[in-house]
Structure 1
Amino acid sequence: MNSTNETRNGLWATTLAFVIWGLFPLYWHLLKEVPSFLIIAHRIVWSAVLLIGGLAIVRGWGWLKDVWATPRRFWLLGLSSLLIGLNWSLYIWAVNAGHVVETSLGYFINPLLSVLLGVVVLGERLGKLQWLAVALAALGVAWLTWQSGRPPWIAIGLSITFGLYGLLRKLVAVEAVIGLGVESVFMVAPALVYVIWAESGHGGGFISGWGWGNDVLLVLAGVVSAVPLIAFAYGVRRVPLSVVGLLQYIGPTLQFLAGVLILREPFNANQLVGFCFIWAGLVVFAIAGVRSATRAKQQKAATA
């Protein structure tokens, strides 16, 4: 396959991943009759069946032995599994508690938080435009806090857990799908224990209580969770990071629109002001990213 086709396929795969993530609130909302923590547990179990089972069929168990051979990688992935589990838990609870708009805010903030983590942890340096973007986002969060009388804890929690997750995955040298498989190994046992406990007369209703429609949706949650992760892992290796940086806003934009237009969550003028500060920061951040990529390309061409 030539490089043009590779890039095009990568673009489609990356876009698909962000579209699915953006429509997630509508999927989880269909399961509103199921307790949130049981949705999360089933999501983890069925995702693990798909990921671990698929890797075992395609690669045997060598992938797990290779990661286990380097304890630092193995336990860092254990920590990343905790972070993504917390992120999923907070997200699904928030969606089914009627806070889709605030979840979208968390993923709008996340790219800028990731930049700050790069500065604090990795010693990266920011340009003036990037600092301006961070400042605008901080003003937006401060405005929302002042107007509502409390910080947007759901958005902050989602952005922190996912930002730290992304940082850890950057520090662990392992293929994306294998990393997901190892994370599933860590998460599946407690999730399965919780499902079995719940089905033993503690609020569970799989097969016997929630109806076949909900049961099918819970099983498919594994596919719905794994497909965008695999598509993203495929696409991000074939598309320039500057393009991925722009595409990542598809997800929270669709979440925001789903919350306001479909799920009819309240959204007033004061919230709009705060969001506008953050959106302005993202526009500045995107411009800075495009400029940086253009400069790098020009320098590469000049060197060649």
Structure 2
Amino acid sequence: MSTIEKRPYYAAGLAAFIIWGFIPFPLKALAAYPSGQILYFRVALSVVLLLLISLLFRRKQIKAVLTQVKQSVPQEKRKFILFTVLGGALLTINWLLFIYVINHISIQTGSFSYLLCPIITAVLGFLLLKEELRTNQWIAIALSALSCALVGSGEIRSLLFSLMIALSYAFYLISQRILKDYDKIVLLTLQLILSFVFIGPFYSFFTEGSSAVLDSHFFLNIALLSAGFTVLPLFLNLFALKELTSGTIGILMYINPILNFIMAFLYFDEKTTLLKVLAYMIIFISVIIYNINLKGRKKSANGMVIPPVGTTAVIK
């Protein structure tokens, strides 16, 4: 396919990550509400939307996954169940942490975590899946470690939250690579159902002590968060992956945290230090170094990038 013919796919990929880049807006609009309560309704509405889409337009894919699981050997079935449940748990943890960080710490901290995430995922892939890393990628990993040290020397709390978000999402991505032969939308729908099951019994705990009223403002932003910042960019990303390589999507993914940083400083008036600016520059340089020689990278089978919160690569 020529470059001109690929334009709609590039446009879809760009649109997906630009949308995800503006996710702090609906989250900040809900800052008065507990993070767990936001997560509860965001997951609930996302599940409803994905179920409707799947039942109306993706029945063949659902049947294919069911057949695939039924026909697999017992060991494969156990692996499917284990990593689907694990994926749901990790996604829940990641989204909850991200919402809390954006609303109660800083957008910078949340954005930094998603710049770290690809590097941490690469290290985990090397350690757990025996994936090979090139020399320039090891250099990028070393620079990322230096960046973390600089952030930690200035504010250890922010670094710890960034690492927890990055690690939870990195482990999620690793678990989904193990399930790479299954339809990603079906997997995500199952994991969000499990996520709702996980957090449902704790709803009263999440809302304890909160006096915020669940009014039209709340539900409007929840609807925007679920439909506009989860389901819509997810399908745009899937459309882009039909013709673009996972490496290209990986580069586009960095639009998301870069937009987050810009908004943090220009719109939400967050402050930073010279040390943090240096750390952010180093991590950004490390990302560029890591992605050198993309032409040599293999295209992943049925890959998919998930958003924070919502973000990153398999939703990201």
TM tier relative to shorter chain: 0.7 to 0.9
CA separation in 2, counterparts of 1:123 and 1:185? 31
Q: Deviations over 1:30-68 (max 9, x none)?
A: 111221110000011000001122212334563663465
Q: Who is 2:281 aligned against?
A: 276
Higher deviation after alignment, 34-43 or 279-288: 279-288
Structure 1 position 237, deviation (Å): 3.3
Q: Against the structure 1 CA distance between its residues 9 and 193, is the aligned structure 2 distance closer, same or farther, given a 3 Å change threshold? A: farther
Higher deviation after alignment, 76-85 or 150-159: 150-159
CA contact (8 A) 1:25 1:100 kept: yes
Structure having the larger proportion of residues in helix = 1
Q: Percent identity over the alignment?
A: 21
Q: Against the structure 1 CA distance between its residues 59 and 150, is the aligned structure 2 distance closer, same or farther, given a 3 Å change threshold? A: closer
Higher deviation after alignment, 64-73 or 222-231: 64-73
Q: Who is 1:106 aligned against?
A: 113
Q: CA RMSD in A?
A: 2.6
Q: Look up the equivalent residue of 2:144 and give its one-letter code.
A: A
Q: Who is 2:145 aligned against?
A: 138
Q: Against the structure 1 CA distance between its residues 138 and 151, is the aligned structure 2 distance closer, same or farther, given a 3 Å change threshold? A: farther
Q: Who is 1:222 aligned against?
A: 226
Instruction: Give the secondary structure class of the aligned counterpart of 1:287.
Output: coil
Instruction: Give the secondary structure class of the aligned counterpart of 2:291.
Output: helix
Residue 266 of structure 2, aligned match among 253, 261, 266:
261
Q: How does 1:7-86 map to 2 (within 5 A)?
A: 7-60=6-59, 62=63, 65-66=66-67, 69=70, 70-86=77-93
Structure 1 position 230, deviation (Å): 2.3
Structure 1 position 4, deviation (Å): 5.3
CA separation in 2, counterparts of 1:231 and 1:137? 30
Structure 1 position 7, deviation (Å): 2.8
Q: Look up the equivalent residue of 1:176 and give its one-letter code.
A: K
CA separation in 2, counterparts of 1:35 and 1:94? 12
Instruction: Give the secondary structure class of the aligned counterpart of 2:292.
Output: helix
Q: Against the structure 1 CA distance between its residues 104 and 54, is the aligned structure 2 distance closer, same or farther, given a 3 Å change threshold? A: same
Q: Who is 1:297 aligned against?
A: none
CA separation in 2, counterparts of 1:39 and 1:261? 25
Q: Against the structure 1 CA distance between its residues 262 and 189, is the aligned structure 2 distance closer, same or farther, given a 3 Å change threshold? A: same
Q: Deviations over 1:84-117 (max 9, x none)?
A: 1111000001111031101111011111111112
**What's the TM-score, normalizing by structure 1?**
0.85
CA separation in 1, counterparts of 2:64 and 2:15? 27
Aligned length: 288
Alignment gaps of 5+ in structure 1: 295-304
